[in-house]
């Protein structure tokens, strides 16, 4: 799950619901492990009894939000974005800033499906399919990710 460090309103509510639904599906939430949308999704997954892996840009595990159950402190700054999207079977993008856009690009480059929920809307100049599914709700986003990853809820 990817998204902005400063999410607000609907993005935070969506992220918490996505995290909860990921945990309820028996999947592991992998995220950037910090604030905003990442923290909301972590809270949702943790409250539902799920596992949360936070891939931090810093070397200090204390930088993780309090809902992360397993910390990977990389010390590689924003380059950790590739590790975040490469560690899952599918990526759900909620809202987001420039870091989220880079993660979407990395995810597609390495063949990970991307589900966008109130996130970047991208189109290819040539009109080809970018492999990004737009979801209207947290439920739809998680189901699309589970389907794309080949798992059953």
Q: Are 114 and 107 in contact (CB under 8 A)?
A: yes
pLDDT at 128: 63
DSSP 49: T
What is the rounded CA–CA span in Å between residue 145 and residue 34? Answer: 22
Q: What is the pLDDT of residues 100-125, one digit of tens each?
A: 999 999 999 999 999 999 998 887 76
DSSP 97: -
Residues forming beta bridges with residue 65, ordered by sequence position? none
Q: What is the tally of structural domains in the chain? A: 1
**Given a cut of 50, is residue 63 above it in pLDDT?**
yes
Domain around 96: 2-147
> How far is it between the farthest Cα atoms of the chain?
45
pTM value?
A: 0.93
Q: What is the pLDDT of residues 37-47, one digit of tens each?
A: 999 999 999 99
Is position 7 within any domain?
Answer: yes
Is position 152 within any domain?
Answer: no
Q: Are 80 and 96 in contact (CB under 8 A)?
A: no
């Amino acid at each position: 799950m990817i998204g902005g460090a400063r999410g607000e309103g609907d993005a935070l509510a969506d992220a918490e619901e996505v995290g909860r639904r990921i945990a309820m599906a028996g999947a592991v939430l992998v995220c950037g492990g910090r604030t905003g949308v990442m923290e909301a999704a972590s809270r949702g997954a943790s409250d539902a009894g799920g596992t949360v892996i936070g891939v931090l840009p810093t070397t200090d595990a204390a930088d993780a939000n309090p809902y992360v159950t397993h910390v990977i402190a990389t010390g590689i700054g924003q380059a950790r974005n590739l590790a975040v999207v490469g560690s899952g079977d599918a990526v759900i993008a909620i809202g987001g800033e420039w870091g989220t856009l880079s993660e979407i690009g990395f995810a597609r480059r390495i063949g990970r499906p991307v589900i966008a929920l109130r996130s970047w809307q991208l189109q290819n100049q040539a009109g080809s399919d970018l492999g990004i599914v737009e979801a209207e709700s947290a439920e739809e986003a998680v189901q699309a990710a589970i389907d794309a990853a080949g798992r059953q809820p």
